[in-house]
Structure 1
């Protein structure tokens, strides 16, 4: 008998001894980080609300209880039982029964009403029907991404269970080494922005954190051929901090080269990764470049995702526990905290963070019981990288819009589909509602509308005030009448260009392709129009060149030749809307940590920014700091 099988047998016996004698447990198995308990008496389990909680506390494991398939009531009868328990106001849109696991997926407009206070309605559903409920939100804005991901995972449910069982056995395997060390190897994003990728290794485990591209630098992949990363199929887990392509673009590539393990991330990160990586492939094809992987690999990555909620402590290897915390950067972005061994060592990877709250998100969490080493972004870590106060930034944006409106022009804002676009949408919606700028159409081009739909699917990841407004005031600002989704392509763009004053939010945010190129072609020759940058423009991108004063750019021609476009429109930059903390925010993130880390690795910033931040933290807080290069390895312990 294997070590894992012996564990499960012991757990079965322990659970049987802990529960009332009239409750029967038929099977215990691992599915990913969870322990799944099958019972012939699900209704009795549900009657005791503390039973599962007490078991989870005693066993120190996440527990899911499911009915044994042999005792399930028919879905036709169970449907009536379930609907009889759920309040009508919950807005149930679909019930999906899975007889192989005894789970019923309930899709509702108001999931909180299906869950009930402290899960009371969920327990009542099980007590009445015998089925185990799983609740998901009906998107207020129809999202093809959310729908496709849910349908795909439903279709792949059986294979996904096999994947989870395999992962569960890997997590709970026996530790083999008596050595004690923790190492971090940098595979990208050191003294550069983008191409985020790291290996965290112990004697028993190797974990890859992020695997992204480098904006404006085609083909620069993280150093996956480094000895610490090969073979890819022996990596235990991948952790994805967030979905921006400079962190996620090459996650599907891992599966092309043999990786077959789990990806840990938040649920919105999973959906947004699917959206952005598929678009990444689409843009590459349109520009005549060979995509690095096929769309099938994106689906494979989604199939292997294990979503975690903020604050959940989760075993991901025999000697590693992972906890994700809000990073305040984009929807679902996470600071990833790794607890290694039995209190041996703690490492946190910030990913990209915004320390202060924004209109969209609460500020980044930095409250950890322990962190010996922090790997922290330094995008705006330079000595003079202080962003404008957000209120001042909003006032400047409104002045720019008013000035452009008065002279009859149009405002074009290149924006990342995920994060900055929704932040700007909230600013514009409020400004028009309060009369600070004239009411006019706000056209959303590229993936912005779809990304916004995903935001409305997961309001629990938004800032408290915004979430409450969507939940309780029935006043979803993203549904304002001014917003228009550009869905008719070039004809609609031409119609907008020929029409009255308006605001256009368009991808790509760094002017590296996509619909923004069409808008420039339509609107750049008119000096009454204005191009407004609200996000970071990386070195080497067209956006950085325009921002730096270039007034003529190369446009891709219809026959592969390059046409030149003269920019006669005004160009402005409005700082303060970045999803990244500025220099002060980064310092505050470290300063307010209690206890502070012993070591900090400053990454994800150009050489000057990383070294400036590293030097400042060393001098101000007397901690060991580094601005590593790619392919360096640090040993701790």
Structure 2
């Protein structure tokens, strides 16, 4: 018998001793970080809501109770009973029963009403029918991505359960070493923006944090080095957020043998799949060989274990993970690692925005302990101060009005996730208040689909925006001015030849995608204003246009190569970046209590990371580093 089996036997014995005689336990197993109790008496568990809570506190584990199939009310009877318990105002759209796990997935427009106060309605459902309810939100804007992910995970439930059981046994295995140390190895995004990737190592565990590409370059993370290999012996992958410079190459891990878990938030999982599939599509259209196939994207989704903000989750025998809001894009996280029994704590900022935005609450920096912080420095240069948000919004409104008066179009290269939705909110409000004229707002590329995913997860949005979407029935993303471009070139040509309009199009750094088509249509129009609202990395076409290039290569668009002469106006409106500026980065570190002992400044060009590292050292007396790629740091 393995040590995990012995451990489970002891836990089962403890549980049995704590439960009343009328409640049976048929099996106890691990599924990922959770302990799962199987019983023929789920209704009894539901009648005593404190049972699971007390067991979880005693065992110091997250617990799920699953009913044995023969204890369940037949599906036809259960369906009627479940609907009878749930208030009509919850607006249930679907009930999906899964006999293998004893779960009923309830899709509703108002999940809170299905859950009830402190979970009272959920317990009432289990008391009546025995099934364990799982609640998901009916998306107010239909998202093919969310629908496809949910359908795929339902289809793969049996294999996914096997994966979770295997992961659970790996997490709860006995520690093999008495040594204690912590190391971080940099595989990318050091003195550069892009290809974020790190290895966090202990004597027991190796965890990969992020695995992205580099915009405007073929450079990839250094996955071939000994610290990262063999890939199939990595214990876990943690993804801070879905942008491609952090997530693009995660499917590549599965191509080369990795078969373990990915920990991230639920919206990041969905956005990751969306962006990775588009990444493959763009590569194919541009005649490049994609680094992996779509089947590997599905593998990544199947191996993802969603984690909610603030939940402390065991991911290895000696590592606990907690994700916190990073304020950058939907589902973005600061990843906090608690190593050993209070031995050491490391936080990876991912990409952060310190202050509140229209979309998100500002980044969380309240941790019990952090000895080392790995900190993004995109705008860490000494002069990298962004315009105040109100001033930025007014400048954008001015650009739109000036361009409209000329009879032109405002062309905004935008990241599908985050900046597009921020701009949508600003422009929708300005039109509603009469600050700019009514005109169509065309959304090209993945922007509409990404917006639908935002509406699916309002609990990750700023408090007042969430309330507008679901409590006041005022979803700003459903404003009639928004037009999703779905007819391709023909629709673009018609818009380009038409009346004044605002066009938001991917890609945000002008590195491919439909923005190239818009350039071919509008690049020669002096009445058009190309307006940059997001960071343009070195080496990208966006940065070159921003710096004044008026002859640009066209390897796509309408299928023609060569160069294009630009006659349109070019404007940059600062203040809409999803990244904190220099002041925001400093404030994030300054207001941490206690402050970290060491800071590794990463994810910025050479000047930015060195400026920021120097400032933290001189202003706050911290040990700081501006590492290069392939460096390893040992702590303790």
User: Common fold, TM-score beyond 0.5?
Assistant: yes
| Other-structure match for 1:198 | 198
Does residue 257 of the first structure (1) align with residue 259 of the second (2)? no
The answer to whether the Cα contact below 8 Å between 1:139 and 1:456 also exists between their aligned partners in 2 is: yes
Correspondence 1:79-228 to 2 at 5 A: 79-218=79-218, 220-228=219-227
Correspondence for 2:549: 550
CA deviations 1:393-440 (Å, max 9, x no partner) are 000000000011111111000000000000000000110111111111
Secondary structure of 1:616's aligned partner: helix
* TM, length-normalised to structure 1: 0.99
- SS at 1:112 equivalent: helix
SS at match of 1:25: coil
Match of 1:10 in 2: 10
SS at match of 2:227: coil
Alignment of structure 1 residues 483-632 onto 2, 5 Å: 483-556=482-555, 562-632=561-631
Deviation at 1:562, TM superposition (A): 2.5
Q: Are 2:29 and 1:40 equivalent residues in the alignment?
A: no
Which residue of 2 is the match for residue 306 of structure 1?
305
Aligned position for 1:352: 351
Aligned counterpart, 2:235: 236
CA deviations over 1:598-628 (Å, ceiling 9, x no partner): 0000000001100100000000110100000
Give 3-state SS (helix, strand or coil) of 1:401's partner. Answer: helix
Unaligned 5+ segments in structure 1 are none
Aligned equivalents of 1:56, 1:489: Cα separation in 2: 53
How big is each residue's C-alpha offset from its partner over 1:167-207, in whole Å with a ceiling of 9 and x where there is no partner? 00000000000000000000000000010000000000000
Question: 1: distance between equivalents of 2:256 and 2:603?
Answer: 25
Partners of 2:198 and 2:309 in 1: how far apart? 21
CA contact (8 A) 1:531 1:570 kept: yes
- Give the distance between the partners of 1:386 and 1:560, measured in 2 at CA: 40
Distance 2:429 2:14 in 1: 57
Separation (CA, whole Å) in 2 of partners of 1:364 and 1:19: 42
Superposition pairs of residues 363-512 of structure 1, within 5 angstroms = 363-512=362-511
Contact conserved, 1:212 with 1:245, CA < 8 A, in 2?
yes
Task: Quickly say closer, same or farther: Cα 1:388–1:18, change in 2 above 3 A.
Answer: same
| Cα deviations by residue, 1:437-493 (Å, 9 ceiling, x for unpaired) | 111100000000000000000000000110111121010000001000000001111
SS at match of 2:200: strand
2:356 aligned counterpart, secondary structure: coil
Measure, in 1, the Cα distance between the counterparts of 2:427 and 2:124: 44
Cα distance, 1:609–1:12 mapped onto 2, change above 3 Å: same
Structure 1: distance between partners of 2:399 and 2:418: 21
Q: Aligned equivalents of 1:83 and 1:303: distance in 2?
A: 30
Partner of 1:281: 280
Query: Do the aligned partners of 1:442 and 1:483 also contact (CA within 8 Å) in 2?
Result: yes
For the Cα contact (< 8 Å) 2:413–2:504, is it kept in 1? Answer: yes
Q: Is the 8 A contact 2:517 2:556 kept in 1?
A: no
Aligned 8 A contact 1:189 1:197 in 2 = yes
- Tell me by how many angstroms 1:558 deviates: 8.4
Q: Distance in 2 between matches of 1:307 and 1:374?
A: 23
Q: Distance in 1 between matches of 2:559 and 2:231?
A: 37
Kindly report the root-mean-square deviation, in angstroms, between the aligned alpha carbons of the 2 structures. Answer: 0.9
Contact 1:26 1:40 in 2 (8 A): yes
Is contact 1:557–1:563 with CA below 8 Å preserved after alignment?
no
The DSSP-based 3-state class of the residue aligned with 2:530 is: strand
Moved over 4 A (4+): 557-561
Q: Distance in 1 between matches of 2:168 and 2:495?
A: 53
Q: Secondary structure at the match of 1:79?
A: helix
**What is the SS of the residue equivalent to 1:63?**
strand
Residue pair 2:419, 2:534 contacting (<8 A) in 1 also: yes
Q: How many angstroms does 1:382 deviate by?
A: 0.4
Deviation track 1:220-259 (CA, whole Å, cap 9, x = no partner) reads 1100011100000000000000000000000000000000
CA contact (8 A) 1:69 1:102 kept: yes
CA contact (8 A) 1:175 1:204 kept: yes
Equivalent residue number for residue 291 of structure 2: 292
| 1:557-610, Cα deviation, whole Å (9 max, x unpaired) | 689863211111100000000000000000000000000000000000001100
**Whole-angstrom distance in 2 between the partners of 1:39 and 1:400:** 64
Q: Does the CA-based 8 Å contact 2:518-2:557 persist in structure 1?
A: no
Q: Is the 8 A contact 2:516 2:556 kept in 1?
A: no
The CA deviation string for residues 350-389 of structure 1, in whole angstroms up to 9 with x for no partner, is 0000000000000000000000000000000001000001
CA offsets per residue over residues 121-161 of structure 1, 9 Å max, x none? 11111011110000111111110100110000000000000
Contact 2:46/2:126, CA 8 A, preserved across alignment: yes
CA shift for structure 1 position 50: 1.5
Report which stretch shifted further, 18-27 or 160-169: 18-27
Q: Calculate the TM-score normalised by the size of structure 2.
A: 0.99
Q: Which residue of 2 aligns with 1:332?
A: 331
Offset of residue 499 of structure 1: 1.1
Distance 1:446 1:243 in 2: 17
Aligned counterparts of 2:530 and 2:286: Cα–Cα separation in 1 = 24
* Separation of aligned partners in 1, 2:503 and 2:560: 28
The 2-side partners of 1:460 and 1:557 are apart by 39
